[in-house]
Amino acid sequence: MNYVIERAAQDEQQPEMRAVYGEELVRLAEEDERIVVLDADLMRANGTVCFRDRFPERTFDLGVAEANMVGVAAGLSATGLIPFPASFSCFAARRTFDQFFLSANYARQNVKLTGSDPGVAAAYNGGTHMSFEDLGLMRTIPGIVICEPADPVSLRSLLPQIAFRRGSSYLRLHRKPVTPIYAPSETFELGKGKVLCEGSDLTIIAAGAILVAEAIAAAELLEEKGVSATVIDMHTIKPLDEDLLVRWARTTGAVLTAENHQVQGGLGSAVAEVLGEHCPVPHIRVGVQDEFGEVGTQQYLQERFGLTAENIINQARRLVEKKTGTHRERKGA
Amino acid sequence: MKTEDLRMLKEKALDIRRLTVEEIAHLGIGHVGGCLSVIEILVLLYYRHMTHDPANPSREDRDKFVLSKGHAGPALYAVLADRGFFPKDLLYTLNQGGTNLPSHCDMNKTPGIDMTTGSLGQGLSAAVGMALGHRLKNLSGRVFALIGDGDTNEGQTWEAAMSASMYGLSNLIAFTDYNKMQIDGPSEKIMRLDLLQERWESFGWFTQRVDGHDLDALDGALERACAEAKRPSMIIADTVKGKGIPHIENDYTNHNMPLTREDAEKVYAWLDRCESELEETNREVQP
């Protein structure tokens, strides 16, 4: 496959994203004393215990009270600090939405909210904890930055940019071990998608640890079957890299989006909005189709909701047929 | 408090009440009741206790104030204008399109506003964050907050109460504007807040209860709160919603109501009488 980036060594062990998150926050806090960490009784789950050990006075565990946590973060920001509050994405987004909307964003504060364990990653915590709607909620907040890094290398590169860009943000963080994607030297720019490989038949746009890895696996298998796909890691969901999206939609004439989220409101919607206005091409959205989550292993849930390389392949072939069909119809007319 | 200081504050409370009424009457409608119940608390803070600098509203070494009941913004705007944060003329732009004085407080629009508020329950959390921030940065400035009955209904207020006590935020001093009225009726009928003092005490706050229109009593409570070294402080101020407009006092429909020129004239007449009485008293106490 025509990779345009250097890949991670394939025998590399699977690192935990939360460990990278915690370590990186410690590193940032060593450089900048404004960095503070907040949590709502999930520091162990979110990988920030190392931060508490290193900077106990700059760590605020607010107990199981997420709304207050986000409000306190806004107050800390109003004194010039850079707060990183975190919780599971279901609570970070749903339960604190008004606080995050108003005290953080409307008040133009600098609150770096992290929602961990998004979508099917919630696995054994089940439907109550399975956020398929957080991106939809967050995308409606004016001026916010929304980022979902796919692996440790991209997380390391993007986190400082999130920290030092003035304004509030939502980091959708996979916390468990992930498939390494990028070579350690790879760098990322907030708001700019990363093209992993270039192909001519369709463009696959994915975000997050699960779907970027599945998209790459799908593209490799599609290649064997004679379908050539461009794969883009759209780590920044807002602001969306519209130029890159439109360029590749024009080049390949078909777009498939893949996300660990409802197809309503998330990456698929964001892409469809841009394509509809600037480059209407056939588009298929792989993601959760208007359903609530449920309990199970991550593997079971990926299969249950079609968040697999296999489903991406099937939908990609459908999409290419659709594209050719449209092409034929146009020719016939 | 010295007699002349108390006299100055009383006069100031009359001025601010008049200015607030002028400001709302100019528009013709507003959150009259909840603005008029907080006047003495604001006057005490901004004319006696808080460090602030109108020429440099964002200097770091100042006290901060969070008006969690953001709809009382117009009363705070009157105070800020009188203190010189912005020209008094601006008061007559209240709620007009493009104004810097929106119905609810906005820190990015109005000089002197320290926190954006408007969704009840959020202010105390922000004040907790500010108090933690001041402590972390070794800033001596205290954080004052003012919440209302509606705020007290919100669960988030009690989350904030827990956290302030957990972190021993003695640099946080809050007031409850306890006017016992909310939009749909008396709190007694909508959401009872009885044993309010016991509630705050049980959350670990140094709690006092005083007449919220008695500047001397409020001042005493605030002095004691400032001296408290370990706990956050709550001063429950018994107030009257709509205080100063006798014919609407304690009428729950005064939450957001039209205020006509005639209404305003009645208030000014009443304020004039109060002023004359105050001058009379002053003459009596002076040798």
Strand-strand pairing, A236-238 and A145-147? antiparallel
Please determine, for residue B286, whether its predicted confidence score (pLDDT) is greater than 70: no
Q: What is the mean pLDDT of residues B91-95?
A: 97
Per the structure, the count of domains in chain B is: 1
Indicate the pLDDT class of residue B267, thresholds 50, 70 and 90.
Answer: confident
Distance CA A5, CA A1 (A): 11
Judged by CB atoms closer than 8 Å, whether chains meet at A72 and B137 is answered as no
Average pLDDT of chain A, as a whole number: 96
- The reply to whether A263 falls in a domain is yes
> Mean pLDDT lowest for which of A146-160, B123-137, B217-231, B247-261?
B247-261
CA distances from B194 to A124, A164, B40 (A): 43, 46, 23
Total Cβ atoms within 10 A of residue A77: 26
Judged by CB atoms closer than 8 Å, whether chains meet at A75 and B128 is answered as yes
In terms of DSSP H, where are the helices of chain A? 17-31, 43-46, 49-54, 66-78, 89, 97-99, 134-139, 152-164, 208-224, 242-252, 267-278, 298-305, 309-332
Average pLDDT of chain B, as a whole number: 95
Q: What is the mean pLDDT of residues A68-74?
A: 98
CATH number of the domain encompassing residue A319: 3.40.50.920
Q: What is the pLDDT of residue A331?
A: 54
Report chain B residues touching chain A, CB-CB < 8 A.
Answer: 60, 64, 66, 106-108, 114-116, 118-119, 121-122, 124-134, 136-137, 139, 155-156, 159-160, 162-163, 166-167
Q: What is the pLDDT of residue A325?
A: 79
Tokens 């746009």 belong to A205
Give me B24's structure tokens.
């709302």
CATH number of the domain encompassing residue B153: 3.40.50.970
Q: What is the pLDDT of residue B251?
A: 83
- The reply to whether A126 falls in a domain is no
CATH number of the domain encompassing residue A61: 3.40.50.970
**DSSP line for A146-202:** EE--SSHHHHHHHHHHHHHSSS-EEEEE--SB----B-TT----TT--EEEE--SSE
Q: What is the pLDDT of residue A1?
A: 81
pLDDT digits (tens, 9 = 90+) for A28-61: 999 999 999 999 999 999 999 999 999 999 999 9
Are A308 and A247 in the same domain?
yes
- The reply to whether A81 falls in a domain is yes
| Residues in CB range of B176: below 8 A, 6 or more apart | B146, B147, B148, B149, B152, B196, B234, B235, B236, B237
Domain that holds residue A41: 17-116+150-173
- The reply to whether A204 falls in a domain is yes
Are A208 and A321 in the same domain?
yes
Are A157 and A207 in the same domain?
no
**Residue in A251, A253, A250, A270 with CA at minimum distance from that of residue A262:** A270
Please determine, for residue B253, whether its predicted confidence score (pLDDT) is greater than 90: no
Please determine, for residue A333, whether its predicted confidence score (pLDDT) is greater than 60: no
Chain A residues with CB under 8 Å of B125 CB are 67-68, 70-72, 74-75, 99, 103
| Residues in CB range of B121: below 8 A, 6 or more apart | A67, B68, B151, B153, B154, B155, B156, B157
Please determine, for residue B88, whether its predicted confidence score (pLDDT) is greater than 90: yes
Residue A45: burial class (beta carbons within 10 Å; 0-12, 13-18, 19+): middle
- Report how far Cα B36 is from the mean position of its chain's Cα atoms: 9
Q: Collapse the DSSP code of A87 into the 3-class scheme (helix H, G, I; strand E, B; otherwise coil) and give the result.
A: strand
User: What b-and-e string marks burial along A298-319, b requiring 16 or more CB atoms within 10 Å of the CB?
Assistant: beebbebbbbbbebbbebbeeb
> What is the ipTM for the molecules in this complex?
0.95
**Cβ-contact A118, A147 below 8 angstroms:** no
Per the structure, the count of domains in chain A is: 2
Domain that holds residue B98: 3-285
Are A27 and A162 in the same domain?
yes
| Residues in CB range of B258: below 8 A, 6 or more apart | B28, B29
Q: Which of A57, A67, A75 shows the shortest C-beta gap to B130? A: A75
CA distances from B108 to A83, A107, B52, B96 (A): 19, 7, 17, 17
Are A157 and A206 in the same domain?
no
Judged by CB atoms closer than 8 Å, whether chains meet at A103 and B162 is answered as no
Are A245 and A162 in the same domain?
no
Judged by CB atoms closer than 8 Å, whether chains meet at A102 and B116 is answered as yes
Please determine, for residue B156, whether its predicted confidence score (pLDDT) is greater than 50: yes
Please determine, for residue B282, whether its predicted confidence score (pLDDT) is greater than 90: no
Please determine, for residue A193, whether its predicted confidence score (pLDDT) is greater than 90: yes
Q: Which of A36, A68, A107 shows the shortest C-beta gap to B116? A: A107
Are A298 and A198 in the same domain?
yes
Q: What is the pLDDT of residue B243?
A: 92
Which range, A95-104, B186-195, B278-287, is most confident? Answer: A95-104
**Residue in B116, B142, B160 with CA at minimum distance from that of residue A168:** B116
- The reply to whether A59 falls in a domain is yes
Total Cβ atoms within 10 A of residue A61: 17
Chain A residues with CB under 8 Å of B66 CB are 75
* A166 reaches B (C-beta below 8 A): no
Distance CA A172, CA A90 (A): 11
Distance CA B281, CA B287 (A): 12
Please determine, for residue B140, whether its predicted confidence score (pLDDT) is greater than 90: yes
Indicate the pLDDT class of residue A328, thresholds 50, 70 and 90.
Answer: low
Indicate the pLDDT class of residue B281, thresholds 50, 70 and 90.
Answer: confident
pLDDT digits (tens, 9 = 90+) for B196-207: 999 999 999 999
State phi, psi for A60 to the nearest 5 degrees. Answer: -130, 105
Mutation choice for A interface testing from B105, B130, B132 by most A CBs within 10 A: B132
Total Cβ atoms within 10 A of residue B160: 35
Are A90 and A215 in the same domain?
no
- The reply to whether A134 falls in a domain is no
Distance CA B127, CA B174 (A): 9
- The reply to whether A178 falls in a domain is no
Q: What is the mean pLDDT of residues A97-103?
A: 98
Are A25 and A164 in the same domain?
yes
Q: Which of A72, A83, A106 shows the shortest C-beta gap to B128? A: A72
Are A155 and A216 in the same domain?
no
Are A109 and A199 in the same domain?
no
Are A328 and A213 in the same domain?
yes
Q: Which of A65, A73, A107 shows the shortest C-beta gap to B107? A: A107
| Residues in CB range of B57: below 8 A, 6 or more apart | B85, B111, B112
